[in-house]
Structures are given as C-alpha cells and as structure tokens.
C-alpha cells in the first residue's frame, strides 16, 4: 500500500486518489528565463518517479506542468539581452524539452505557458475585484490576504498575527525563505512592449507569477488535484498563495497531497552563479557519463532529503549502476534460452523488495539497493532459463519506473558521442 509524506499536515498518509478513474497531478514547471541546471532537474525527476510509479501501480495518471515564461526575472533577462521575450523563452523551452527526453522524463499530458493562460488570469482578477478579494494600488492589483483566513496552512504559518496596517509586496519572487507578511501582487500594471505586457479589461499589464498556476489548473482540471508536486523553495509563499487564489474561487481543496522535493547541493553549497558551481547535463555528459547515469544519480536518494553532488559521489553512484547493468545483462542473456517465463521465489523476492521500498514514500535508493542485492545472490546462478526470464520480466517492470537499466550515449570533452568506458571508474 503506497504511503506518501503529505506536506499538508506534515505526516505520512496512505495514497488514495480523489478520482478513481484518473489521478490528476500538477507539477511546478521551470522558469524559462534561463536554462535548467541539474538541481532543477532533480525536482522534475522526482516528479517523474511519482508519475511512473503510480502508473506501475495501475493508476491512470494525467499530469499538467507549466512553463513560467512571463515573470519579473524573464522580463529583466529579455531586456538585458535586448531580445523579445517570446524569442528568448522559446529557445529555453526547446532546450528544456530536449533535456527531458535525454533524462527519460515522461512528457506531461498538459504543457502550458503562463502567457497562454492570460485570459484565465484576467478572469480571476476581475472576479476578485468584484468580490473585494483583490484591490488596486497604483497600476498593480493585489490579493487582500485578510479575505483568506487559511493563508499559510501549507507552510504552517498563522497569518492572523500579521501586522496592521498591512504591507504590499509587488515583486513576483523574493530571495530567501522568509514570509512576506502582507498582500501579494496578482497583476503588474505596466507600460511598454506588447511582448511583455498585454491590453486587458483590467488594464495594460501582465499576470503575476503567483496567479499563473491557479489560472492554468482552473482551465484544465475541474476538481481537487490528487497530488501537487514542487521544489521545497516553493513551499514558502508561492504554494500557499496558489491555495489562497484557487480556494477563493472554488468550494473544494486545491490538492489532497502536497509533495516537495529537497535541494541538490554541489560540494555542500547551493548552486549559484557567484560561486561558479552551476552544473548542467552537458557538464556531466562532457565528463563521460551517460544520460542514464545522470538520471540515476539525481534519483538515487530520497526526494525529501538534500542530495550533495561531488565528483567522488558521482563516480561512485555511476559505478554502482554500471555493476548492476552488467549483472542484468548477464541475466538477460540466460533468459534468451527460454521461450516462456516461470515465476519463482527469487522473481517474487525482487518484486516484493522493489514495491516495499517504493511504497514507503518512494524510497528509490532502498528500492534499487534491495533489487541489486537479490540479483547478486548465488542462488540466482542456479535458476533455470525460464526462471531467469521471470526475473528479467520483473526487472523490466521496475525499470519502467527507474528508467536507468539501459545505457545511454555519453559525450567526451570534444563533444563527440561515445560509450563511457569502465576503465578508471
């Protein structure tokens, strides 16, 4: 029975979908003012594991994800580059989708740009103005947080203690993990290029970041989400703002389960331009790792714990996967001698071990290590080809989730494609 740690309530709960026919999931997508680094992809890979394991368990899953292509950082970056916003974000989105395929991330059923949900955002703001939930100040429009007493329910913040008179916060994002104790912006009034701002019934401007997810979800999914996923950074402010907006519109909860993935560190430090430690998939491909090894490193651990990248850790994890692949390859060769599979105790052990760990809040590391230990047992060498074929079938099922057993292409420092050699590992 699958149990997940629900950030809403801070406890593990048995997973039960809102809708028995389809599990609707929404996952925070990338801000496409710059290329995604491997820390970003750790979050997207944890979300991919959620989707794939639910499908493994027999659920029909529909996943939505947004591209944040219009927000403060994107606008600033487009102006800095002297490039149309759409042209800049188009290039980043193309690169992101290419890397999704590279890392074997299943492409979501719903992919929506924030700029494509403009009409939905405007409709929400108009309704809020009419109901007194939002108000104008200068050219901007703000959400009146006093109209939503449950603000902060996800992060465990009591907004009733906030000071009066209230403050207004006009930026899309703020650094750090502090709470802004006041009203947040829904609509940026602005002047200038139609590539950045739009004419709307509520004025010339653009939707603020915090209204975008709610606008997209409202347009695509007319029920409580079974799961909402995102990075831990979004737990502060952003996700509670989304709850306040969507639950002010609809008489039911935004999501039943909230899952948050933790950070990827590099040498014990958060990735940043100032420290010069930002890594991209190309950085690791250039070192000779294949895409499957990169994926494996980023999922091999628990999604709710920080993962620390070091050269030694990457080498060790890739070596573990290579050893596993070699063992699986030898089993597959033996399995080819049989026309049919015959279930055996070891094939059942592999399946139980994998599912037991994955049912425990998606513990990928324990799932992989448990399977690896079983297929190394001497008893595996005594199985008949038909029994080995059964084991291979169970491994294939597990890899429908993990997506790491088949080697991928690597690239050397010159950029040419090659298989990574085992020598020196």
Based on the structure, what is the number of domains in the chain? 2
- 204 part of a folded domain: yes
Q: Which domain holds residue 240?
A: 3-261
89 & 156 share domain: yes
Kindly state whether residues 9 and 113 are assigned to the same domain: yes
Residues 236 and 179 in one domain: yes
DSSP 165: S
Could you say which of 236, 261, 286 is where a domain stops? 261
Look at residue 414 in the predicted model and tell me its pLDDT: 35
Maximum C-alpha span of the chain: 78
Q: Does residue 259 sit in helix, strand or coil?
A: strand
Q: What percent helix, strand, coil does the chain show, rounded to 5?
A: 45, 20, 40
Containing 362, the helix (H) or strand (E) segment is none
Residue ending a domain, choose from 239, 261, 283 = 261
- Which residue, 383, 381, 384, 357, is CA-closest to 368? 357
Task: Round to whole Å and give the CA distance between 213 and 65.
Answer: 9
Q: pLDDT digit of tens for each residue in the chain (425 aa)?
A: 999 999 999 999 999 999 999 999 999 899 999 999 999 999 999 999 999 999 999 999 999 999 999 999 999 999 899 999 999 999 999 999 999 999 999 999 999 999 999 999 999 999 999 999 999 999 999 999 999 999 999 998 888 877 776 789 998 888 777 788 889 999 999 876 667 889 999 999 999 999 999 999 999 898 999 999 999 999 989 999 999 999 999 999 999 999 999 999 999 998 876 678 899 999 999 999 999 999 999 999 999 999 999 999 999 999 999 999 999 999 999 999 999 999 999 999 999 999 999 999 999 999 999 999 999 999 999 999 999 999 999 999 999 999 999 876 554 433 344 334 333 33
- Determine the length of the chain: 425
How far apart are the two ends of the chain, measured CA to CA in Å? 38
Domain presence at residue 62: yes
CA atoms 46, 48, 49, 53: torsion sign? positive
Please check whether residue 172 lies inside any domain of the structure: yes
- Report the C-alpha gap between 377 and 235 in whole angstroms: 43
Asked whether residue 423 is assigned to any structural domain, the reply reads no
Nearest to 401 by CA among 361, 369, 368, 360: 368
């Amino acid at each position: 029975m699958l149990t997940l740690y629900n950030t809403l309530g801070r406890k593990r709960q048995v997973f039960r979908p809102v809708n028995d026919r389809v599990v609707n999931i929404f996952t925070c997508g990338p801000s496409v003012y710059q290329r995604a680094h491997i820390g970003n992809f750790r979050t997207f890979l944890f979300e991919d594991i959620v989707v794939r394991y639910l499908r493994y368990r027999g659920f029909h899953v529909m996943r939505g994800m947004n591209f944040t292509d219009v927000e403060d950082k994107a606008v600033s970056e487009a102006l800095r580059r002297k490039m149309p916003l759409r042209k800049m974000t188009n290039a980043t989105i193309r690169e992101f989708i290419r890397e999704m395929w590279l890392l074997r991330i299943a492409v979501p059923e719903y992919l929506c740009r924030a700029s494509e949900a403009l009409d939905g955002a405007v409709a929400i703001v108009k309704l809020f103005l009419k109901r007194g939930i939002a108000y104008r100040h200068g050219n901007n429009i703000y959400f009146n947080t006093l109209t939503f007493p449950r603000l902060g329910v996800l992060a465990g913040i009591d907004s009733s203690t906030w000071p009066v008179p209230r403050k207004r916060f006009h930026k899309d994002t703020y650094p750090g993990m502090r709470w802004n104790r006041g009203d947040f912006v829904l609509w940026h009034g602005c002047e200038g290029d139609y590539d950045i701002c739009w004419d709307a019934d509520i004025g010339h401007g653009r939707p603020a970041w915090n209204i975008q997810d709610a606008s997209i979800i409202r347009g695509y999914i007319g029920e409580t989400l079974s799961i909402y996923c995102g990075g831990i950074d979004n737990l502060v402010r952003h996700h509670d703002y989304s709850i306040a907006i969507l639950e002010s519109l609809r008489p039911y909860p935004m999501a039943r389960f909230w899952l948050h993935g933790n950070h990827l560190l590099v040498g014990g430090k958060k990735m940043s331009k100032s420290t010069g430690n930002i890594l991209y998939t190309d950085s690791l491909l250039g070192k000779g790792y294949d895409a499957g090894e990169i994926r494996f490193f980023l999922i091999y651990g628990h999604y709710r714990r920080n993962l620390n990248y070091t050269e030694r850790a990457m080498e060790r994890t890739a070596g573990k996967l290579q050893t596993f692949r070699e063992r699986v390859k030898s089993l597959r060769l033996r399995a080819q001698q049989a026309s049919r599979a015959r279930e055996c105790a070891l094939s059942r052990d592999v399946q139980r071990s994998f599912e037991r760990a994955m049912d425990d809040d998606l513990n990928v590391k324990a799932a992989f290590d448990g399977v690896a230990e079983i297929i190394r047992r001497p008893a595996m060498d005594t199985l008949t080809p038909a029994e080995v074929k059964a084991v291979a079938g169970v491994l294939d099922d597990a890899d429908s989730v993990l997506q790491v057993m088949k080697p991928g292409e690597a690239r050397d420092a010159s950029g040419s494609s090659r298989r990574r050699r085992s020598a020196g590992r």
